[in-house]
Chains A and B, each alone.
Chain A
Amino acid sequence: MICITVVAMSIVQQNFDGIYLDNRSWLASWLCKKVGCAELAADISQDTFIRLLTNKNNARAIENKPRALLTHIAKGLVIDHWRRKDVEQAYLSAISHASEHEVVGPEHKYIVIETLMRLDKALSQLPTLTRKIFLLAQLDGYKYKDIAQQFDIAEITVKRHMKKAFIACLMLD
């Protein structure tokens, strides 16, 4: 099993130049149509090939349907890109109301955006109620028993939702 993976990996790596040359130009123009900016399209196109190289599960798919795989990876990256924009926008509008001493430096800003992206990713796979409960507890600082009262459920149920949400956050890559 492991041997096959290793061999398959090297097929991607060996053929990488070929794959890159064959697909570079159509991918860039496809991306350009999607995002409407040549520079951004070029960036995402590069990232797509990097993803291709670093994920070993791609080996077989690239043999059979290179276009489908590359489009699939690129789509994910475009979504991530817009998502990041949204997160950044939301962050900027949030701190526009902030008092001066709360405004953070660029390094901290990066961590904040990354944290929000992660939180967003983890929570987006959870049911609405679980998400609500988690945010109330973690961001509003509500106690479990207050949350239980608010939703008219048992405290043990609140804990079950919390556990699910913690697991989702911790399992995230």
Chain B
Amino acid sequence: MQLNTHKDSAVIEQVADWLVLLQSDDVTELDIKRLNLWLAQNKAHRDAWQQANHFLTNIEHLPCSVNSQTMLTLNQQGRRRVVKLLSALFAIPTTGYLTVQSGLHHSVIADHQTAIGESKTVTLNDGSVIELNTQTKITTTFNQVQRSLNLLAGEIFITTGKKHGELLPPFRVITDHGVIEALGTAFNVKATEQGIEVEVSEHAVLVTTEHAELMVKAGESLKFSRHMLQPKVNKLQLSAMWRKGLFVAASLPLFQLIEELGRYHHRLVNIDNSIRNIQVSGTFDIHDFTGTLALLCESLAIDVVYRTKWWLAIVPKAPHS
């Protein structure tokens, strides 16, 4: 019996409290909000929660027929005890909105990721569809207690699944800056260095951070981070055009446009300071970096100098040309 000493016993105790609460009949909507808040608080909480769910998912995966009362007679048989497990499944939650399922409710822990310039669509077994943009990494935990997705990096568009006549557990996107709970929705989530950007296309999501709780409805967007005290909901201009292979810039500084397009390509780009902030508007093909640069050269007073194929500089247009 080795106890893992570097596990934080205080956090584990809290996880145990949450599991017991979720399993009891007393769980309320307020508790779920508190859980979201707790998860939003720090990474140690999220990691411990994820680990606990991994273990519970494995128990849930035990075949129905692994059956027996003998688990309880183990100790009577001394050292060579026989392990058998009772027939019923690990029916963890019977919360307000979860009904107990008698059948096997398969849960899946999975990792999905995309390389630079790659995009990919994943359908989860509850019918939810996740579209991954370039350089994205997610893990998912789906069981009877939760449908949860960790966004570790990048950008995803989620269309949550619905099963006819069945109540599914809440769908959460867990990020380093807060938790986004889907309220029957389609929405886009992007992780940047500064924080998280969420754009809602259908219905609404509930965003919980350490300092705030906000509803974001269809046609709205929100940028938030764990440090922000009062993030503000904005009108959504154009949602998730990356799904069509496009990026739309509306009066965007040149360097930001290049940064944005750079997410899809292995390129090192230097931009001359005098032109960094030229305002650019237009619709650009995210997969055609060279073409986009040629287009920019035509319409703006800039030139592109290729140092190597991968390394280039954007400079002001030479006066005589």
Contact = CB atoms under 8 A, between A and B. Distances in A.
Interface of A: 79, 82-83, 86-87, 89-91, 93-95, 97-99, 102-104, 108, 111-112, 114-116, 118-121, 123-125, 128, 131-132, 135-141, 143-145, 155, 159, 162-163, 166-167, 169-173
B3 A171 contact: yes
Interface stretch (B81-89, B156-164, B259-267, B276-284): B81-89
B94 A143 contact: yes
Given A82-B80, A94-B85, A138-B59, A125 B17 contact: no
Nearest to A137: B23
B256 interface: no
Given A86-B83, A115-B61, A141 B68 contact: no
A143 B82 CA distance: 26
Contacts of B15: 166, 170
B9 interface: yes
Contact of B3 (A93, A124, A173): A173
B12 interface: yes
A104 B63 contact: yes
B20 interface: yes
B13 interface: yes
Contacts of B65: 94-95, 97-99, 102
28 contacts: A82-B80, A90-B84, A94-B63, A94-B65, A94-B84, A94-B85, A95-B66, A97-B65, A99-B65, A116-B62, A120-B71, A124-B75, A131-B71, A137-B23, A138-B90, A139-B71, A139-B86, A139-B87, A139-B89, A141-B88, A141-B91, A144-B25, A166-B20, A167-B13, A167-B16, A170-B16, A171-B9, A172-B3
B234 interface: no
Interface string B1-39: 111100101001101110110011100000000000000
A89 B24 CA distance: 34
A120 B85 CA distance: 10
A87 B155 CA distance: 43
Interface residues of B, number: 51
A132 B69 CA distance: 10
Contacts of B75: 124, 128
A170 B12 contact: yes
A121 B1 contact: yes
Interface stretch (B50-58, B173-181, B225-233, B239-247): B50-58
B68 A173 contact: no
Given A94-B85, A108-B61, A170-B55, A138 B92 contact: yes
Interface of B: 1-4, 7, 9, 12-13, 15-17, 19-20, 23-25, 48, 51-52, 55, 58-59, 61-68, 70-72, 74-75, 79-92, 94, 100
Contacts of A155: 24
A169 B55 contact: yes
B38 to A, nearest CB: 16
Given A135-B86, A139-B86, 7 more contacts: A87-B83, A91-B84, A139-B90, A162-B20, A169-B55, A171-B7, A172-B4
A106 B81 CA distance: 24
A79 B91 CA distance: 31
A140 to B, nearest CB: 4
Contact of B74 (A104, A120, A143, A144): A120
Given A98-B65, A112-B66, A170-B55, A135 B20 contact: no
Contacts of A97: 65, 67
